Amino acid sequence: MQQSGRARAIRLDKRNADLERENDRLRHLYRLLGEMPETEAREVLRRVRAAEDPLAFETKRFKSGIEKT
Give this prediction's pTM.
0.68
Q: Which residue has the higher pLDDT, 25 or 69?
A: 25
Tell me what pLDDT residue 58 has. 62
9 in any annotated domain:
no
What is the rounded distance in angstroms from the CA atom of residue 65 to the CA atom of residue 53?
Answer: 21
60 in any annotated domain:
yes
What is the rounded distance in angstroms from the CA atom of residue 67 to the CA atom of residue 42?
Answer: 13
2 in any annotated domain:
no
Tell me what pLDDT residue 57 has. 66
63 in any annotated domain:
yes
Into how many domains does the chain fold? 1
| Per-residue model confidence as pLDDT tens digits over 36-59 | 999 999 998 998 888 888 777 665
14 in any annotated domain:
no
Tell me what pLDDT residue 14 has. 98
Please, are residues 29 and 59 in contact by the beta-carbon 8 Å criterion? yes
User: How far apart are the two ends of the chain, measured CA to CA in Å?
Assistant: 51
Q: Is the pLDDT of residue 12 over 90?
A: yes
